[in-house]
Amino acid sequence: MTPKQVLEMAKENEAKVVDLRFLDFPGVWQHFTVPISELDESSFEDGFGFDGSSIRGWQPIHASDMLVIPDPATAKMDPFFEVPTLVLIGDIADPLTREPYSRDPRYIAKKAELFLKGSGIGDTAYIGPEAEFFIFDNVRFESSTNMAFYEVDSVEGIWNSGREECPNLGYKPRHKQGYFPVPPTDKFQDLRTQMLLTLEKLGIDVECQHHEVATAGQAEIDMRFKPLLQMGDQLMWFKYVLKNVAQRDNRTVTFMPKPLYGDNGTGMHTHISIWKDEEPIFAGDKYAGVSQEALYGIGGILKHCGALCALTNPTTNSYKRLVPGFEAPVNLAYSSRNRSAAIRIPMYSASPKAKRLEFRTPDPSCNGYLAFSAILMAVLDGIENKIDPGEPLDKDIYGLPPEELANIPSAPGSLEEALAALKEDHAFLLKGDVFTQDVIDTWIEYKTKNEVNPIKLRPHPHEFFLYFDI
């Protein structure tokens, strides 16, 4: 879409204001709104000014002025605002040099796509994330000097089987038995369909929606694969739509990886394939019908998985899900069909166009632009350096004897471990200036200062249960 077409779209939809959106460093959408009279064709070059010092992980106060330059290709009408509102996702630039801002996650995704094309390996990376989430009826939490607690609740929660609900009609999914039940056990069918239809109204292709394994409203809605930058944009719309559809129904959605103890956490299995001249390069005659390039790509992900986790699983809560011996794929192996491996080669279709890699470790707390870019860079590093992934593991990893399991490496056990791995292993991310050293250093510093250390310093409620009487 051209700037002129965007203005025509705004007029056709009687837009009164323009909402400009961009991502902070950790990965949360930010926005501000201007009257539609402020938008003309020159706006798509001149941009709009804002204070970058107030955005997490960005500019210091003495260099705070920044520009957001709207991308006309991202134009959509907001489905929730009372006043007709045109939404444009923007790229961030320095107002003096007009250079793109190196810490802008969307710019990093753009550079990753350019690096792929420059490598000669392919021209398009398709990404398909399966973002899971929970739908809750209520959430309460507090963390202060002398008190810390959280409480979530759901009409579906199995813990409410004995609650007086006037009447309690039962039909609450048991722990780990929430996969695909029909109503009345599945109480959120209509709500998920409203989410799906809202996404489709925005032009986002959806493949399916369903209940997920855990009790208490765990769910999944799958978007059809798209090129990397486009999927980064779509993931932001995805989170925005789900949260707002839920709130309209007086419910809340969270993409927190592990909000419940004793049941499945929330992952984001991420599919990736590379195409060149409209042909898939991952289809071939090797294991599970993939090419040698695909196997090398697997080798790249397995080699760099520790560093990748700092970006694909970037919260301390992520590692409540990534615990060896439980449901999450922490063991660094690959397989066809075997969902206990960190990398799976889906076997739903024999079509060469369907050949792809499924990296099962990530979760939806990530900044999609950074996570998808990092995964692509690991795959490309594997292909360029012909990294051998070893033999596939077509066994139930969780059922292996201890001596055999000990030979299989594992993903990091904490965010601190993942950040340490990123500090030691990030040269593959710096290729083509896709990620800069400043981005890597700032990410590690921000996460350590604002997340790792605050969690370290606070007593955990369960520690009182364990230790108060010692």
- Whole-angstrom Cα Rg for the chain: 23
| Confidence at residue 246, expressed as pLDDT on a 0 to 100 scale | 98
Residue 350 token pair:
């024999």
Mean pLDDT within 369-391: 97
Please report, in angstroms and rounded to a whole number, the separation of the first and last CA atoms in the chain: 67
| Confidence at residue 61, expressed as pLDDT on a 0 to 100 scale | 54
| Confidence at residue 62, expressed as pLDDT on a 0 to 100 scale | 55
3-state secondary structure of 327: coil
- The highest-confidence range among 235-249, 312-326, 393-407, by mean pLDDT, is 235-249
- DSSP class of residue 452 equals I
Q: Is pLDDT above 60 for 375?
A: yes
Q: Is pLDDT above 80 for 397?
A: no
Summarised one tens digit per residue, pLDDT across range 148-201 is 999 999 999 999 999 999 999 999 999 998 999 999 999 999 999 999 999 999
Summarised one tens digit per residue, pLDDT across range 254-301 is 999 999 999 999 999 999 999 999 999 999 999 999 999 999 999 999
Q: Of the candidates 383, 404, 415, which has an alpha carbon nearest to the alpha carbon of residue 303?
A: 383
| Confidence at residue 327, expressed as pLDDT on a 0 to 100 scale | 66
71 CB contacts (<8 Å, ≥6 apart)? Answer: 44, 88, 89, 90, 91
The model's confidence at residue 63, banded by pLDDT at 50, 70 and 90, is low
Summarised one tens digit per residue, pLDDT across range 106-143 is 999 999 999 999 999 999 999 999 999 999 999 999 99
| Confidence at residue 350, expressed as pLDDT on a 0 to 100 scale | 75
Mean pLDDT within 390-412: 83
Mean pLDDT within 18-36: 95
| Confidence at residue 402, expressed as pLDDT on a 0 to 100 scale | 80
| Confidence at residue 279, expressed as pLDDT on a 0 to 100 scale | 95
Mean pLDDT within 12-38: 96
Q: Of the candidates 179, 246, 180, 182, which has an alpha carbon nearest to the alpha carbon of residue 171?
A: 182
Mean pLDDT within 196-220: 97
| Confidence at residue 60, expressed as pLDDT on a 0 to 100 scale | 65
Within 13 Å, how many C-alpha atoms sit on residue 343's CB side? 27
20 close to 34: Cβ distance less than 8 angstroms: yes
Q: Is the pTM of this model over 0.85?
A: yes
Q: Of the candidates 453, 369, 361, which has an alpha carbon nearest to the alpha carbon of residue 412?
A: 361
Alpha helices for 120-248 (secondary structure H)? 189-201, 228-248
Summarised one tens digit per residue, pLDDT across range 412-458 is 999 999 999 999 999 999 999 999 999 999 999 999 999 999 999 99
| Confidence at residue 329, expressed as pLDDT on a 0 to 100 scale | 82
Q: What is the mean pLDDT of the chain?
A: 94
Summarised one tens digit per residue, pLDDT across range 138-162 is 999 999 999 999 999 999 999 999 9
3-state secondary structure of 145: coil
Q: Which residues carry out catalysis?
A: 51, 130, 132, 212, 220, 269, 339, 358, 360
The model's confidence at residue 404, banded by pLDDT at 50, 70 and 90, is confident
Summarised one tens digit per residue, pLDDT across range 231-242 is 999 999 999 999
